[in-house]
Structure 1
Amino acid sequence: MTTPHHPRTTPAAAVEHPTTATKHWAYPFALRDASAPNDLHHHFQAVSAMPVGMFPIACSGFLNGSVFFGEECTGLTIDEGFRCLADGEVVAYRLDRTLHTLTYDPAHVVLYSLGFVLVRHRMDLPPGPPREPAPQGNPPIHPRVNPPVEEAMSGIDIYSLYSYNRPLDRYEEDADGFLKVVLPFWKGSHKYRVGSRARDSQLLPPVVERYPRIYGAPPPAPDPDAPVRERAIGLRVRQESNSRGAVIGLLPRGCILTVRGEATSGWAQIAEIERGSALPYTLDERVDERAVANGWVYLGELERTVTPSPVDEVVVLDPPCPVKAGDLLGFLGENPGKHQAEPQGGVPRLKARVAIEVFAGAEFPDYLAEARRRVAALPEAEKPMLIVEKGAKLCRGPRAAEMTLTPGYVLVPPAGVSTTGSFVYGSIHRIERVPVHSAVPRDAMIRGYTKADGTDCIGSAHYDRLSQAKKALYTQREILIPDGDTAPRWALRDRPANANMAIWDAPPLSKDDATLTVGFQLSCNRGQLNSLDASRRFIDIDGSHWWQIEVGDEENSCLLGWVCSKDHPGTRWESPHAWPGFHITDATMFEPMAALQRNVCLMGDVLDEHREEFEPVMTALGASNFITNLEQIIGLVGTRKGSVVSSDIGEAQQRPWIAHRVSRQIVRFESQWSSGIDRWTQLNPYMNADWHVDMERQEKSGWWNEVAGKLAGFPSDATVHHIHPFGWVDNFSKPISRYPQITINGEKVVLPFLEMCVGSELSNQDFIDAAEFLACEPEVIQAIAKVETGETGSFFLPGRSLAADDDIVPTILYERHIFHKLTGGSYDRIDPEISDAARYVKQLADGEHESPKRMRYGPSSGQYARLMRAYALAPDAALMSASWGRFQLMGFNHLACGHDAVTAFVGALSRSESSHLRAAVSFMKQNPLLLDAIRRKDWVAIARQYNGRYYDDYDVRMSRAYDAIKAKK
């Protein structure tokens, strides 16, 4: 064992942390199968085809802190580039002009990449109880050198690294030399092109009439034979840097220009028009080309390219470039080995690769301990992760049923009581068919109506809407009659048609019947559990949730068992900020020399003259805590003890419960990107000529000191804590399913018409862009948004309008009178709360009680409950009967908002806040009266056009909101 090359030091410069804490996480590549769960298991499966890059031991036997991705990962969208793991900021990168060359003897070459992207993420400590005051008395024998954690630490910086990136010459260009992909953090000189984003058109000259018309006379009819004037489309150039500046010309599409300064957004002054010429903004007028050449343009309407500079060196960004989880960071490059070398002059064999890793500095153990201390006192409601400990016992399945009923019976739930999932709860009722006009027994209920042969059963609501002629086809009525005692019982919800029905007198699942022993700890996010197939989950009448989960047993085999959400022995609920299941091990003894000695002994390649020197090292490393822990994780026992290698890890993590445990390992060792080369050159006496060639690549790869010397807060010591990328993402990210789920009346309900929110938020620049397009003030648009949704904003958020573990969904307000109008009142009698000609009211008068005709809108939490009831009756009409998002746009206006179908409209608004603004801009543009009022700031006209004749005091509120927004600028 050797001492670290970079002892821990305290940076002299003040640390500048990211201004925004990380809130969102994402896997670096999407699954090609969009219907597959976007979970840890499926991403491990996707990388299982990789022959290299196992965490934390590589095929070479050296330590490896990254996960490799390549073209072998056919289950991932590898060709679309790698994405950022979490919100953060790019702090450093390297972009090479072309691939580097290594030449092996005899005259064989490989091409490789040195490019990388380094992202910093801020992990704030969770709020928690204060620390206990230090006990009074004698001072400790060894007083702390550092201040207490609560004084010195508010969180930690974690870094994600993406290595072996594509060089510049492999990015495609168009005919104008514009790169088809420009990464936002690249430094260099920028060029802009007037393209499809620019939508301004030249104005027609004002009509000069030959004779003045008498007031009130109609204008003359246009001449049908007059030629159509061609008007150029392009970008307006203004005299000043704002949307109110005078327009002094128009740059037609195809023009290429540069601008002054470093800005890449907002307004910029033209430096040079490299291609094309300015046109007059109004036809037949003259343009002052000198004025245009110094005019101002809005960069958001231009296409941009960059000539990256510098290249072939490490660039530390000041300031850093903010990025969000899922943002594109680059494309795969090359990292070949000697076996891929080709004769010089031949066609090199290329195999795309990227290595992704996550690491934190020396303070990580302190951060972890403090985070765990803080969340320990949180209430269970704020702990969304279920931890199933090793040794816990699960239920195999439902116990034997107490009775069996032949077909023809159903269970009818008691009023106000329901269950979801595998089992149904209720009293036994017998199904009988009687003539449609016969009397119904008083204790019976109508189930539906059928034709004479008993087919085509329809519900009462459907039957009531039929014409008399169609009703005549349904000659029988199905009724449900209580059978025997009315005590509620349980039965399977789904069973084959005409099959017998098993009946339980008590809940079919009980913690007392748990007999299956869990062999490995597992953590599951509540969202993942609730996303299981309905046959694998169950909510009992007492609110207890049951889930059928897959774990490993004591023999390392697959085990399927049921676990309960409440008081299940061997389980607990935890916060992700406790990092449940994560374990730190120290592997600093695995220096390259020691790792080599161990590996050649294990592979049987050790020479006799080295055996006596190497084998004790192999034995010592095999007995280390690092190897012992790793073997316990993957279940390697017996004669193989102490000899785990990369292939063992790759094979073991095919099993989900082992992959989960591998992903929870945090291993401390010196990064391969360390600038110190000495620890590698110690191996030279034992290596052949190819190794010395590889050392050329290793020496060029050591960028650590270049970043540490310029980036405040970056670990100066390259011995860091390596965190599995998948484990980090899985622990903190909410599971991404196709549709969001929210809690309605105590139950999780899937909203199949919405999509998952990706988390993008509107910026002030977005409002400026919109105002530029509408030729109005951005503050007017902001005032409308403020009045429409106020503090609620664009989305109902978990823990505020929704339950703590719900998904984010658009803000809505359901309107029953619209649903009544769209459905012709068909459902007024069935459910007057959601369908009636009477509007909801904001509040009742003093002493007034709610009645069918006087119902309040109610809290935001109840809006989706009403919407879902309406959706079950008439889906499209229901979606058109709600106002949606930041600007509360009615669903029936979806065409004006730019969407052919209401489902496309609500789906877009559920994805991101930017879609709310795009829809609002389209809506405003489609209504000339509204657009004119917005431009004139006529608040009464805006309120009338936007909200209709019942606009109440919207005009006053919008005016006040506008004044307040202007006052802040």
Structure 2
Amino acid sequence: MAEHKPINWAYPFPSKDTSCTPLQLLTHMAQAKGGFYPTGENGLWHGGVHFDEGTAAAFDQSSVRCIADGEVIAYRIDDRYPVSEFTDDIPRVKRAPFSTGFVLVKHSLQPPPLKNTDGSIVEGQTPPSLTLYSLYMHLLDWAGYQAQANLPRPAFWETKRYTVNTQHDGLSVRAGPSKHTTKLSELSKGTEITIGSAEGEFSKLVSLISGTAQPALSADDEERLPGYVSTSLLKPHSEPAEYDKVVVLDSGVPIKAGDLIGHPGLYQNHNGAAQHMVHVELFSCDDVPAFIARSGAWASRLPDDQNTLLKVYKGASKLIAHREDISAENPPKLSDEGTLVGVDIIIPQALLDGLPASHKIQNTFPAGGRTPASTSSWWRLDGLFADENGNPIDGWLAEQELITTRHSPWEWEGFQCIEETGTPVEKLAYAFNARGLLSADEQHNYRAQISKADGGPIVTLARLYDIADTDNDGVLTSAEIQAALTRPWHAQVLGLLITKYESEWSWNKGKWDELDPLLAAVPGKPNQAWEAEKQRIERLSWWGDLAGRHKVSDDGIAWHISPMLIACSFMADRSFKFTLDIMKGIYPSLLPSRESDLAEIANELNSHLYLYKLDTTLRRTHFFAQILQETGPQLNVEEGFIYKAESLIQIFKYFRNNPKLAKAHGYDTHRGVKADGSRMSQEDFEAIANGAYGGRADLGNGEYSTGDGWKYRGRGLKQLTGRYNYEALTSWHNRLTKHWPAEKDVNFTEQPDLLLTMKYATRSAANFWISNRLYELADKGDCSETVDAITRIVNLNTDSYQARRANFERLWSAQILK
């Protein structure tokens, strides 16, 4: 059987607070202005979650990202947003835009294969699989992309043209697919072209859309231009195949977790203001309960290292309040006074791994007599638990055998599947009655529907009643459900519901017409706002275009799953850890005496893998493709200043103006040996650094005489250079003291040599990676263009683009960082 590769997961929008835990992200969804999971504010089922103005403070909502590896199977882009007309009470006509743009991605969810003791895969045993679909609704229209020319475009659109994207000069047109062939012409920067097939690092030039070629090129009989151009120096511009129409792709286009889906579109309800919003949904048309049963049975045969979820039970564990004297040397004791945990909660290992080092204590007890060796784990957890009265409690939790339990995500621990048995009119009548919106006559007329909904699947769940019906009046309101979402232990319970019903994207006129009497302002008179809303529902629908294709059901019925909860659970399934062997694979020629440095880098990265945005193979590979070039194969975390005298004059303005100093401090013909026969000294190195970086306003360095060039020379894994950058690192480091509380007020500006230690050398590189959002570029893929895009931010004018691409190719092909 072929090696199975589990799919990666990501959040559709990254958190603005990099220290935010997965369970805290669930509670942020309570800030949405509407569109909660599993029901909306109207009491009807709602299969997804909304990211809108309410959640914008918590998430970076500038662009929408794919939540898991898969393939794009359909999309629709509005040419311009359609507009609904509503008449208000004045009366006045309100024109409300609403985006119908969406992308649908198909995924395959499958547990890892079983393995023999020697690591080989057990033959003849195929893991169960589930087909999932993620939906991203209400995306930016085409007019929005045209108005923002530099806005990135999804890769699954058709690429129709390219722009010459050189830094300074134009782009050479070569006679063949090699830089060593004859130069036929040069395309000016910004020229738009179309290209044909790729050959190595070059592509065949086809046509010139705009811009100039000098000298001019003559097309052949088929109107194709001669020559080849370097693909890496072209910026692609893709466009949808069609507008205002569902585009179904016969062969899905591969997409990875974190890849660009699109951008938030505009949506306005009849009773609100227009806002940018995206609806994200996850569903399956398979038999989900049957899959969960098979997956759970499969999980029981997986090794213990797959148990990446820690379950804490109500009334079983206690939290011990933090004291100043608690440390690794003086851990809490089970006999200490504490508060009994009053809620059930499942904690992903990713959350535990992401805790600051000061919040994790592990004590190893050696074997003695008949007692085997054991490890005691304590976690300081804040903002996750409540006592039996629902009051939040913080403190230290012990992981205890038989008291807490470990689970694999493939067990689907705590999930509940419920099937819809009612109709929209029953749920809407129930919701209206709960909010006190029905008259006595309406309550009488709809009492059958209200009663039926009151006995329906969602409200018969005692746990849901317990957590949401805060006023104990026997009815659930959307406000109560929203309030429940603010508490992680309740938000998780709501997210563990898997619900089956007809999708809101499957147009069924009769189902919505049934609501007409209930929504009529005056009996017998149509509600114009509702009539306009039904027209919207029809235009928003797309299911009919997919029905029966790509395994999408014909009847529009599907199982709906919380997208944030599932991402939270399965991102915890990543058990990657940097090891000494992995680090030696990155630096294969490093001297054995430096292995302790590699181990220190590994420890630092493992402690903050998610904070540093190095939580996928692709991100880690791009990160080290750059770091390798910055440090060299011998892991130099300090910039060297051994320069030939003529190179100093050629590279640095200061030495061009002071050639005598270049000859006095640079080497002659033998590396490290000057013209007078003496070897380069510390004085020479400092003089070169001060000449190279002194007086650089962009770096914040003082003039040559201040010594800032030497003081703020390149250090760390990323070769941090310049006063401004050292100040920025200091500010960043001190903002994140919750991750390293014992290291408050560290000042790299005053102590720049701290970056010569592996811990701080690593943190400085992580800061640059995060601050410049290079992880988002890394998510774009494993092509040379992505490596070049990152290189341009790391070191724009370097001559090492090819070397960095080679670093990436070596690490990626060997899957060292998998």
TM-score by length of structure 2 reads 0.67
Of residues 715-724 and 21-30 in structure 1, the stretch that sits farther from structure 2 once superposed is 21-30
Question: Could you tell me whether the CA contact under 8 Å between 2:79 and 2:142 is conserved in 1?
Answer: yes
Counterpart-to-counterpart distance in 1, 2:494 and 2:125? 34
Q: Is the 8 A contact 1:393 1:514 kept in 2?
A: no
Q: 1:126 is matched with which residue: 112, 128, 132?
A: 112
The residue that corresponds to 1:112 in the other structure is: 98
Q: Tell me the amino acid that sits aligned with residue 518 of structure 2.
A: Y
Separation in 2, partners of 1:19, 1:714 = 27
**C-alpha contact 1:422 1:535 (8 A) present in aligned 2:** no
Identify the match of residue 616 of structure 2 among 740, 759, 763: 759
Aligned residues: 641
Q: What is the match of residue 30 of structure 1?
A: 14
2:188 aligned residue: 252
Matched, 1:705 2:544: yes
User: 1:186 corresponds to which residue?
Assistant: 157
Deviations 1:682-717 (A, max 9, x none): 2223332321221111112221120124x3222334
| Partner AA of 2:8 in structure 1 | H
Aligned residues of 1:389 and 1:518 also touching (Cα < 8 A): yes
1:296 corresponding residue in structure 2: 228
Partner of 1:649: 481
1:105-124 CA distance string (max 9 Å, x none): 46332111111111122212
Matches for 1:735-774 after TM superposition, within 5 Å: 749-751=603-605, 755-757=612-614, 759=616, 761=618
Aligned partners of 2:322, 2:161: CA distance in 1, in Å?
68
CA contact (8 A) 2:378 2:398 kept: yes
- Partner residue of 1:440? none
Superposed counterparts of 1:350-749, under 5 Å: 350-397=274-321, 422-425=326-329, 490=330, 508-510=332-334, 516-534=339-357, 536-542=359-365, 543-549=375-381, 550-567=384-401, 569-586=402-419, 588-629=420-461, 631-632=463-464, 635-636=467-468, 640=472, 642-687=474-519, 688-709=527-548, 711-734=549-572, 749=603
Partner-residue secondary structure (3-state), 1:339 = coil
Please give the secondary structure, in 2, of the residue aligned with 1:338: coil
Matched letter for residue 326 of structure 2:
S
- Cα distance in 2 between the residues matched to 1:613 and 1:693: 25
* Superimposed CA distance per residue, residues 912-967 of structure 1 (whole angstroms, 9 cap, x where no aligned partner): 68788877998998599x99xx9xxxxxxx9xxx9xxxxxxxxxxx9xx9xx99xx
Q: Contact conserved, 1:166 with 1:333, CA < 8 A, in 2?
A: yes
Report Cα offsets for 1:329-379 as digits up to 9, x if no partner: 122223322214xxxxxxxx5221111111112322222111111112334
Question: 5 Å matches for 1:77-92?
Answer: 77-92=59-74
Q: Compared with structure 1, are the counterparts of its residues 632 and 675 closer, same or farther at alpha carbon in structure 2 (3 Å cutoff)?
A: closer
C-alpha distance in 2 between matches for 1:277 and 1:350: 43
Contact 1:38 1:736 in 2 (8 A): no
Where in structure 2 are there 5+ consecutive unaligned residues?
117-123, 366-374, 520-526, 581-595, 641-671, 673-679, 683-747
What do residues 771-829 of structure 1 show as CA deviations (whole Å, max 9, x unaligned)? xxxxxxxxxxxxxxxxxx9xxx9999xxxxxxxxxxxxx9987799999x9999xxxxx
Q: Deviations over 1:634-661 (max 9, x none)?
A: 5245873641121111111211211222
Gaps of 5+ in 1: 1-17, 131-149, 200-232, 281-285, 341-348, 402-420, 426-489, 491-506, 767-788, 797-809, 825-870, 885-890, 892-899, 935-941, 947-957
TM-superposed CA distance for 1:96, in Å, is 0.5
In structure 2, the residue corresponding to 1:692 is in which secondary structure? helix
Over residues 581-606 of structure 1, what are the superposed CA-to-partner deviations in whole Å (9 max), with x where a residue is unaligned?
222222x1242121122122222333
Query: Is the CA contact 2:154–2:238 (under 8 Å) kept in the aligned structure 1?
Result: no
1:73 aligns with 2:9: no
User: Secondary structure in 2 aligned to 1:540?
Assistant: strand
Q: Secondary structure at the match of 2:207?
A: strand
Q: Tell me the percent identity.
A: 23
Question: For residues 73-104 of structure 1, what are the alpha-carbon distances to aligned partners after superposition, in whole Å with 9 as ceiling and x for unaligned?
Answer: 24235551222212222211110011112123
Using the alignment, how far apart are the partners of 1:264 and 1:119 within structure 2?
A: 30
Which residue, out of 250, 254, 276, partners 1:322?
254
What amino acid sits opposite 1:253 in the alignment?
K
Contact 1:633 1:661 in 2 (8 A): no
Equivalence for 2:720: none
Q: Equivalent residue of 2:446, what SS?
A: helix
Once the two structures are TM-superposed, the CA of residue 545 in structure 1 deviates from its matched residue by 0.9
CA distance in 1, matches of 2:291, 2:681: 58
SS in 2 for 1:721: strand
Whether the aligned pair in 2 keeps the contact of 1:155 and 1:367 (CA below 8 Å) is yes
Aligned residues of 1:29 and 1:76 also touching (Cα < 8 A) = no
* Counterpart Cα distance in 1 of 2:376 and 2:600: 11
What is the CA distance between 1:241 and its match in structure 2?
Answer: 4.9
Q: What code does the residue aligned with 2:22 have?
A: D
| Alignment CA distance shift 1:293-1:717 (3 Å) | same
The structure 2 residue matched to 1:167, chosen from 138, 141, 150, is 141
Conserved? CA contact 2:166–2:189, under 8 Å: yes
Alignment RMSD: 5.1
Q: C-alpha distance in 1, partners of 2:12/2:681?
A: 46
2 CA distance for matches of 1:651 and 1:902? 36
* 1:138-188 CA-partner distances (Å, limit 9, x unpaired): xxxxxxxxxxxx9887412211111111111122447xxx5633221223x
| Residue matched to 1:39 | 22
Matches within 5 A, 1:888-967: 926=799
**Alignment-mate amino acid for residue 59 of structure 1:** E
Maintained 8 Å contact 2:162/2:194: yes
CA contact (8 A) 1:239 1:247 kept: yes
8 Å contact kept, 1:68–1:355 = yes
Alpha-carbon contact 1:193-1:255 (below 8 Å) kept: yes
State the one-letter code of the partner of 2:211.
G
Asked if 2 retains the 8 angstrom alpha-carbon contact of 1:21 and 1:122, the reply is no
Structure having the higher helix fraction is 2
Asked if 2 retains the 8 angstrom alpha-carbon contact of 1:57 and 1:646, the reply is yes
Aligned AA for 2:106? R
Tell me the SS of whatever aligns to 1:236.
strand
For 2:495 and 2:769, the matched residues in 1 are separated by: 39
1:532 is paired with a residue whose SS is: coil
Question: What one-letter code is carried by the residue in structure 2 that aligns with 1:538?
Answer: I
C-alpha spacing 1:630/1:25, structure 2 compared with 1 (3 Å): farther
- Distance (Å, rounded) in 2 between the aligned partners of 1:814 and 1:196: 31
Q: Secondary structure of 1:185's match? A: coil
Instruction: Give the residue type in structure 2 aligned to 1:605.
Output: L
TM (normalized to structure 1)?
A: 0.57
What is the rounded CA distance, in whole Å, between the counterparts of 1:60 and 1:104 in structure 2?
19
Whether the 8 Å contact between 2:139 and 2:278 is mirrored in structure 1 is yes
1:122 aligns to what SS in structure 2?
strand
Match of 1:834 in 2: none
Residue 398 (structure 1) shift: 8.3
CA distance in 2, matches of 1:564, 1:558: 18
2:211 to 269, 276, 285: 276
Q: Which residue of the partner structure matches residue 587 of structure 2? A: none
Greater radius of gyration (CA): 1
